[in-house]
Structure formats: structure tokens, C-alpha cells
Chains A and B, each alone.
Chain A
Amino acid sequence: MLFHFPWGLLALLAIPLILFLHFFRERRKMRLIGGLHLWSFAAIALPAGRRFDRLIGNLPLLFQILAAILLSLLLAGLDLPQTGQISHYTIILDDSVSMQARTGNTATERAVQVVNQWAKKKDRFTLISAGVRPKMLAGPFASWEEMSQALNQWTPQSPACELESSVNLASKFVTGSEKILFLTDDEKPVKSYADILEVYSLGKPQPNSCISFADRVRVSPSKDKIFITLQSFAKDKAQTVLTAYMKNAVVFREDATLAPEKPASLAFETDALQEDLVLSLKEDSLTADNSVILLPVIIKPVNVYMEGFGEASEYFRKAVLSIPYTKVAPGAAEAHLVFTTQKQYAPFETNLRIYHFLRPEESGIIALAQGRDIVPDNHSPLTEDLSLEGVLWPYLQEISSPLPPLIAHFGRPLLFLESEKNGQRHYRFNLVWDKSNIFRDTAWPTLMLAMVEECRKSIPGMDRSNFRVGEPIPLRLKSLVKEPSPFRLLKDGSPYAEFDETPGMLQDLPKGRYEMSQGSEKSLAAFSVNLFSPAESDLRSLNTRAADFAKLLPATMVRMKRNMIVFYALLILTLVFTALSWVFQD
């Protein structure tokens, strides 16, 4: 016998209170009279005999005391627990996509069947899935019901099975000589863990073809080019058909003969439509690697504005127009990238990068940097590998930089980041440009390209729309609604996740087509996640081998299960005696 909450026994203090109230209550108005028979007409309670009366009078008190005792026992959690020995098992599931390969049934279905048949309802389980990262599906020390539910919902989709991290996690829950049960379709990679894992391999070797790579690139304003790599994992050549669909219409089809171990590359062009392109291979045992969806290429045009350069503006314009998806903006309000000679330039919200140049009338001690003495910062994307060999760079000596310069001449800053605020960066060109030859040098278009691309990357939104499983997905989205509204992520049209704030990066997304929206606004971003995992597509090495469950040597523990009969009995008796005390109360 034990008490789960011994403090509940303090409720016994109610008994003296009950006694006090009982005797206090007895002091009501009472009259001793010679006889009752003249009053019988007015009785409001049944008369009672002396002995019976004494008994009935004390019954409410007795019932109240009993109810108080039972209630205190109930609150104290009196229990006569049912004890039993239970075992704990730690199970790791191979979460890689190859477990979905079907020959009649899949390795996943076979694994679920094995576990459901073997696991006992009285035992406890810790269930971990081993994908790119380990994940606790049930437990630790979950009941059979919890484990079974998690197992039935398990769908392996990972591009790889990273066993080391999963074993590290699972090891936290094993003691002594206990072994971890590992359910997989290929036991070969597991050999190094033989002392800690008991492997149950449920794979069946079979040939498989897959799309091992695909991408979509904008080659011209009106054309996209699609690059595809196909692979076959079979003993012999495999015949397959690749079909490309856009708006449910076939835009490309090719019959391919795939030699074993030799990837086959294909390419074709389509119109640069803002439509999804679906690539589909003839279905085989593993369907997860037979289809790819490529979303339209994301183009982020950069608008450039320049002011105060007079005739030299032409050099800026030429350099801008030579860069794809870049144009000269009519005004600073529409520009992402601004070149200005204004002393006090007031930036617009759209301006992301502002390069301040010296004004022609600006005076000071001019120094001259030239050729190899001009040192660019090769760690910065703006000046990486920038050659200023033939450049003459006059500059003002007294200008200083708060940060290490991007281009320097014996430590004196020639180009540097002056400030950054609210996503806007202000750079300063310490260049007496009207006396320099930089605009005529080949370095200028190179530098302009770097500046434009650096600015393009800073424009909010995704840079790409197609990713592979396991790849982190940066979003950099901007909220379009003024009032706080959650961000919703849809996968293949169905709700997948919700975020209170815009997520900066998404990870571990399974294969599918995704859209991020906010409130009632249209889609903020759309992207696809495709499975490209040749290692998982190779099903030739899968094997079947049952585990010896006896080798698991689980830890045993004494389980004390609360005796609910005691609980309900105390509860019912408390209610009964409370009701009886009320019934017999006069």
C-alpha cells in the first residue's frame, strides 16, 4: 500500500471541524414539553423513538466523518498498485527512402508488421528514426500503444540513413548489455555497430532506375533549359521513358536505354513560362525517385540608378546593360542599387545598396593609387578576384573608414562599407572619378557585375525555387500584411506547417511542392524539394535477415500500475457517504 500524494492526508483535519460544526449545530432552539400528541399535526420531520432517534441523530455525523476519511485517502492517493516486471526496448528505424521500395509490400510495411507481432503490450519502448538527423518518434519509455501509433504513422523519406547520430541518441536509453533493435533494408553499413545493434534486415534486392539530378535554368528571357541525369541500378541495361509535363501537356519525351553504373545526361529547352515542369520516369519498385518537379526559375531583376556623374553616366549605363536582368531605373525611388555623388542622399525604402562617390568640387589632399598598389579584399564577394592592374585611382587622403576597407591603398580606404541600417548598405567610393581611368578599364564592368549581383542577393525573396531533400532552404521573406499574421506552409496543396514569424530557413523537408503564404495574401514563395539520392536508389544490395530478439537483453524494471479499482472505490464511497449524510441530516 502506498500514498501517491501523502499531503492529501491533511484533509483529515476536516474531522475536528465536522465535529465542532455538528455540536455547534445541535444548539438549536429546543423545548422540553410534557407531551407531543397535541403537536403531531404540525410535525415537519418524522418523530423518532429515543433509541432510534439517538441513532438517527448521530448518523449524519458518522457519515460525514466517514466521507472525510475517505476523501482524505482519495486525495492522498491511496493505492494498492499492481506490480509487474516490464522490459524496455530501444528501436531504431531506417528512415531512408529505400525502405519504400515495393515488392508486393514495402520494407516499411514489413518492419511495422515485425514490430507489432513481437512487441508485448506490457513493455516500454523508445522508438527513433534514423534519417539525415535522428528523430524520436515515441518515448522515451513509451507505452506499447504510443509506440504502435507512432510506428503506424512512420513514413521513411530521408535521402540517407545517418546511423551514427541515431545510435548516439539511442545509447542514452540503454543500460548494461542491452542491445538496440535496428530495422533496415540493408544490413551492410551496420557492421561496425554489431556490438550494440541487433539488426533486422527487411530489404529485398531489386533493380531500380532513378532521376538522380535535374535542374531548370533561364538561358534567355524566353527560354529555359532543363538538365537531367538518369541512372539505372541493375545488372543489365534498363529501358525507361522520361516524360516532361507542363500544364499537363507533354513538352518532352525520350526513350532512354540506361547502362548499369553509367549515368545518362539529357537536356532540352522549353519556353520560359511561369509554370511547373514535372519530369516523370517509368514507374518501378521505388517510385520516390521516379519523378521530379521543377518550379519556374526565379529571376530577381535589379534596377540601377545613377546621378551626378554627368557624361560619365554613360559608363555606368553600359556596364549595367551588359548584366542580364538588370536595367537602369528612371528614378531613385524604383532603384535597388544607387550610385550618387550627393553629399546627403536620402535613400528610399527600395534602395538596398547605395554607393556614394566624391563630388567633383570636393577638395582635399589628393593621393594617387595605381596598379598593384591597389589591394582588393579577396574575401568579399564584391572584390573577390578583382584585378585593378591598369587602374589609376586618385583619392582623398583624409577620408577614413570605420571598417576594414574593401579596396585599400597602403591601408588608406578606397572603397569601404560606411554604414548599414534596416537592410540598406551605404558604401563609399574614395575616388576622384573625374580624374580616374577606372570607368574605361576592364575592371569597371567586373566591379559593376559584382555590385549588381551582391545587390540582387539582398533583394528579399528566394534566390532559387528547386532544392534537393536534405538541403537547407533559405527563404528571406518579407511580411506583406501590416497586422501580425501567421505564415502558412503548404505541401502539395495541403497544410504542412505554420509559423508565427517568417522563418529564415527551412530544413529537413520531405519531397514535395511547397508554398508559403500569409493571411489572405497570395503566395509569398513557392519551391520544390526533390529527391536526388543515388545511394538510396541503388536497391541491389538490400537483403533480408531476421534478428534474434533474445539477444536484445532488455533492461527490466518493476512496474507499478495504479490500481484504479481502489481509486474508484474510494471515490464512489466518498460520494455515497456524503449523500447519506445529506439524506439523514434533519
Chain B
Amino acid sequence: MSSPYIPRGREEERRMLAAIGVDSFEDLLRAIPPSLRLPGLLELPGPRSEYEVARHLESLAAVDAGGPGERFFLGGGIYDHWVPAAIDHVASRSEYYTAYTPYQAEVGQATLTAIFEFQSMLAELTKMDLVNASMYDGASALAEAALMAYRVNGRKRILVAGPLHPNYLQVLRTYTRETGIELLVDPAPGGFTDREWVAARLDDSIAALVLQSPNFFGGVEDGEELFAAAGQVGALAIHVFQPHALALYRTPGEMGADIAVAEGQALGSPPSFGGPGLGIFAARRKYARRIPGRLIGETVDRDGKRCFVMTLRTREQDIRRAKATSNICTNQSLLALRATMYLALLGPEGLRETAELCLENAHYARDAVIALDGFSAVHDVPFFREFAVHCPRPAAEIVASARQRGVHPGVDLGRFDSAWNDRLLICCSEKHERRDLDELTAALRAAAEEVAHV
């Protein structure tokens, strides 16, 4: 008896194994060394009814969305901005609601039009010549940028300037580990690029210089001098940016970056427990044939009508195998669509107002937080919407206590490095009103006092 959820029973399995001349399913896995295999079964809870599972998912969703009155000050790579209702409505239309570009891409002109608009808007925002059809997330976009630099100049060292998000660094290490590429990582003690440290290492052995700004701790640094210095020695300049920040600060194109990458989730998609993400990848025109992923191009059909085609597909891995420009053979269409609608709905003015509110709220909050007993700023640098503070007690305890009051006060940086156990990374957005910021301060004060009395 077949089930809609269970593709095969014992009898089907026996017949399939007999057909290929194998005794048991285990025999098929014999080529995998035992050290790489999971001993026993996954530790999963037992079966539950559909209703029980629905209740469980509801409770998870409630945490993610925040119960009534909960306040979120979490950033650290994924950001909580207002998502206009029109986005969910349009994105869930059946013409669009697939995560993938159709296999015969040109049949889906609506999808290609949306991706073309995505590329065009992001090119305008970044002031870069071209933007690809999107990648999996910001971290993998950075890793792809590093590999591209290696393909362009054949050099095997990547120089990371300033504080880069530790997760991005981890992904960069994973992508480059088997390539022989060496990573040189600025310790950046001041929360900014250590310019002397970088200058001492920036020579003609460097494939690319990477600068994240706003950086992991929220600091905003101008990249023009660093990028020019990289260009002097033939290294590519890679700017890891944040889309909202470009409404207020100089863009990667204006600062002379060769490649610009970002996490685009904040443009119209919710935090969703940290994903899915949207990788934005932009480059200068002269590198058009070197970029990973695909581009949507505008052309005319045989009747002379405007239409869109997918280009550079031929350089992807399913066709070029080992010689592919990257191992991505798709893009992140659904989130790219949401980002496109977000930018269209807000417009340049709306994006700027949103960014200004983030900036104002973050500065108000920081002044108030560091005025509290026991709290102090970790760095003294210009920042956009995030800032790190030292707490009087381990940040994990502060977070746990504040959450009892319905306030998620920030990211405990001890999660990334035990030397940062007392650091809290606080993020503000346009969603916060003055009273929310005052609640943050009150929750932190109470958390510090409560913990102190234990």
C-alpha cells in the first residue's frame, strides 16, 4: 500500500535492490568512511499529529514575530525592518511564487523582468556598473567575490581589513580552504581598520582587499583610500555593504570598489530566525565575464519587442564543470523579487527616511545606554544603526533577564568569541519609537541590577 508521504515500503525497496544486484541499502553506503557517517539515528522527537505540529510551528512563529509588546534590538547581519503588506501580497501570486528561475528561463518573462529590475535598482543604489541576478546570501557572495579575485589576478592571499562579521569569515574560510588561498585578517582592535597593519601587508601578493562597512560592530568607515591602495598593487577592492546604509553613506561605486557584496534580506524580507538570505553581487563592467551566477539582459525579440534573456548561464557549473566561474547554478529569485518591490515601494526618498530613522534611533539609544551604570561603548567610531557596549555582567545574562521583560536587547557577542562575553551588539531600526528605546534602557538597567543582586 503506497502512502502519499512515504515513497517506498519494504517490498518496493527489496525489488529495487534486487534490480541493481545489491543485498541491502547499507551496501550502497559502504563507500562512505564510517568516520563521516552518523552513528545511529538522528535525535528527533517522535511522530506527532498534524494538529500538534501546527501548534508547535505556531509557537515558533510567535517567538520570531514577537509577541504583542515585545521589542527587538537584534541585528548582527539579519535586520528587522518594516515589510510593506503589498510585498507579501504580490510575492505570493502564482506567477512569482517559486524560489527558482524557471528552467527554460525565457518562458517566464515576468520573472526575468523582475530580476532585471532588481539588477537595475541595485546598480543605481550601489553606483556599480552591473549587479547579477542574486546569490544565496551575503556571506557566500563575499566568498564568491574572493574566488573571483583569485581568478582575475591569480594571486592567493585575501586581506581582510577592519572587523568582518565572524560568520562571513567562517564562510570565506570554508570556500577557500581547499584552494590554497590564505586569509590575512586584521585584528582591528579599535573597531575600525588598523591602517598600519593593512599597509604593512598590502603588496602584489594580495588578490583582494575586503572591507565591511558598516562593519560587524556597526562602525562606518570610508573605503576610498584603502581601495585606491589596493588598486595600486593590482589587488581587487571588495566592499561588503548594507543596502540601507547606501541611502546615507558613500556607495561602493563612489569609493572605487571593484566588487560589492551584501546581505539583502533587510530589503523586504523578515528576519525569519536568520534566513533565508539574499546575496547581492555587484561588479565593475570590465569583470562582466568573470562574475559568478547569471545576469538577466534586455534585448528585442524577432518582432522587435522589448524582452529579457538570461546570460552567462553557460559559465555555470552544470555546463562548465570544473571550469565554472562558481558553484552557484541558480539565484535567489523570490527574495530578489521582494527586494525589488521593497525598493520600488519606498523609492529613494523612503529608503533615505528609513535609514535616517535607524541612524537617529541608534544614536539616541547608545547615548542612553552608555549613561547607565556599568555600561560603556566598546568603540568610539562613527556608526549607522548598530553599536556594541560593554555590560556590567556577561551579556548572555543581560539578554536572558531583559527577555523576561519582553525586550530582546541585542546580540550577545560572546556567542562569536569568548573574549567578547561582556559585549552586547544593539541594533535599532525605523520600527522603534522613542518609548521602545526607553523600554530598552529600562530593561538593561533592570537586568544589570537584578543580576548584580543574585
Asked if A pairs with B, the answer is no
Q: Which residues of A contact B (CB under 8 A)?
A: none
Q: Which residues of B contact A (CB under 8 A)?
A: none
